[in-house]
Structure 1
Amino acid sequence: MTCSPGFSGNENALCHERRPRKGHKKSRQGCLECKRRKIKCQEKRPRCDNCVRLSLRCRYLPEAAAIATPLPAHRISPLHIANVFSLTDMRLFHHFLVAAFPHFPVRPDNIWLSYITPIGHQCEYLMHAMLALSASHLRKISPTPSCLSGPAQTHRLAAMKGLNEALSRPVSSSEEADAAIGACYALLMQSWYMDDGLQASLVLTRSCEWTTKWVRNQNVRSVLAEGDDHTKLGIMRGRCKDAPKFDVGFSEKAVTSVLALESLCIEEVQVQVFAGLKMTFELLHVSPIAAYDACMKMDSVIIQLSHPAFLQLLETSNGASQLLLAHLVALQLLMRPISCRERKHYTVTMYGIRMSTWIPGIYNSISDDLKYLMEWPMWISRLHAEGGLERWSLAAS
């Protein structure tokens, strides 16, 4: 399998030979406390001897996350041996655990903290993807953001190079499968916090889906590949029971704005995206879960586009395509009160710092004769930046 556009292989590779380990061999199925302390676990349940002796809480990974098959030596190198991470990276790793870890795929548990992050200790490109996400997230909320631009870019390029290499060969274990899918999701979420991340986010939305299907086709058990859109919708239905509804008048304004683009949509891809946006905006005020379901279908439209059609949509010189993308970004911004519930312990603030420069970027790039069609998306972008979008978009309680 080859990676989709957006993953380039021209970065310098970080290659490290695996050297023999000293001392005893740690257990791959031991409890989390023994893994944290890097000692051999007796694997006794419900509590191992080490935890009993030290009066510690003994916890094991879920059964689906217990990996019994050791990885080939040339595939993964322990990061403490590779010695490629700095003190700044330790700060980024802490921030990742506290605030920046992904919530995709949507699940009823925090699988990233309990399972994926430990894999990152053994998989260099996954760790790079995690640190890249953390750097871009922290950059958005830091008083000195410029100092994090370099680490964000460096880790992103290293993650992409490693991911490309991983996708060029079949996976042989659950760890390898989940590392590949996890890296895609981390890079996708990082793109949300990048000023120029619009195209990358669309590329990675497709890549996450394709990588998941690629893993399933190899019949390798993967925690991140479990479930589908129906499962995701079921989880979100429970979380949206008390979610706010969109105002009918606001929904009508959104429909009016996208309808103004209909005469410009000549190419087939533009017609498809236009139809998807129109349907989604029409369903916004029906119910929170109907709005979320419509957004999922909008994502499916992007994912299912042929490669040539997708490139047409990304064409920066095509005014109609850029206008459609501006409305697509506006949709993502106004969905914040519902989309934030994709996290198990959600916070609206985290969604308030993403995609903040994308619509103005499109406005500045299109020709002057089309700028009037950007009035509604630019209004949404301003409200988003000012923190007042919900006041205009949501129905009175």
Structure 2
Amino acid sequence: MSKKDKSSFSNGNGQQLSWGAPGTAGATIAAGLVFENVSHDYDGVSSVKEMNLAIAPGEILCLLGHSGCGKTTLMRIAAGVERQNRGKVLINGRVVADEEVFLPPEKRGVGLMFQDYALFPHMSILSNVMFGLTNLPKKEAQTAAMGALGRVGLTDYADDYPHALSGGEQQRVALARALVPRPGILLMDEPFSGLDKRLRDSVRDETLAVIRETRATCIIVTHDPEEAMRMGDKIALMRRGRLVQHGTAADLYKCPADLFAARFFSELNQLEGQVTSAGVETPVGVLAASGLTAGETVDVCVRPQGVLVNEAGLCGVRGRVRDKRFVGEVDLLTIVIEGTDQSLQARVRAGSPWETGMDVAVTTDPKDVLVFPRHQSQI
């Protein structure tokens, strides 16, 4: 197979990308990273507010949030590309940025991988990867760069230029360049957003495997909750410059801090509820809840997969199927609840017997029910 044919093979035509042999990425000494009361603003407009966050050595953290929430700014502060207005940044317990100290990026042991890959178009692939190895003799730098290209499966492209490579291959070059100096911390700004969906999963999985091999501490900026759950040991969810919640994917999904966090990880049916001594009264019945005060108005959220549909006349509130849509592995039902204008979205197994116009009985699965005080829901 010629080099040209090989490039075509890995351009995302349903084929598995060819990466280098596992276990060949050089290991590094992971560094811990801590933000203490970090705040930053651009011309008086806050971008990061009182951020307190610790990333353990070797941990992969996904910074998650909508565009403009401060994710990239926080990453740039960690790298030393931006200087915070207040607070401290520490690497391995050493202050690298505060009111008096500011260590430049090249002295922090940090690797950067940008969203657009930032490859130099006039330089060969090998020269791009060697770019940060200025402290090594040329021959050693070439050897290290070729090793990094080998791990990402691009040794044969060392003499080519970035324009000759596909998006997935350029992403791998950028990864090799970021990792070849063996940084203690690797920072990645939405590294997969420019890839075709057919490529994204395989490139993401292989990238994660390489990062695990190097053992570097890693921060990945993303706006995709599924990506954050798949890649991160921990997730830090941000909103308007503030940290909303920090924990494992299971923590944030099962026990979201507020309605904003809950909505970020799943679709929700939102209902108004009234707390009584028996529980929370809602259009779909009385639901269990703890730690709430009788008489309090709350927002009750039910995930679509937690809406359980049964034959009419069985246990549950009465409803009618207003619409049914086939969406692959599931059927998406819209059910109108008797006695209210409220409708529910339900996800049921594809090929379900429910059809438009049928009367049904509706109950809920407690594990997919979330209750939030009304003051937490004003977002």
- Fold match (TM-score > 0.5): no
Higher helix share: 1
Considering only CA atoms, is the larger Rg found in Structure 1 or Structure 2? 2
Normalised TM-score (structure 2): 0.27
Between structures 1 and 2, the one with greater strand share: 2
Larger RCO (CA within 8 A; separation ≥ 6): 2
Name the TM-score, length of structure 1 as normaliser: 0.26
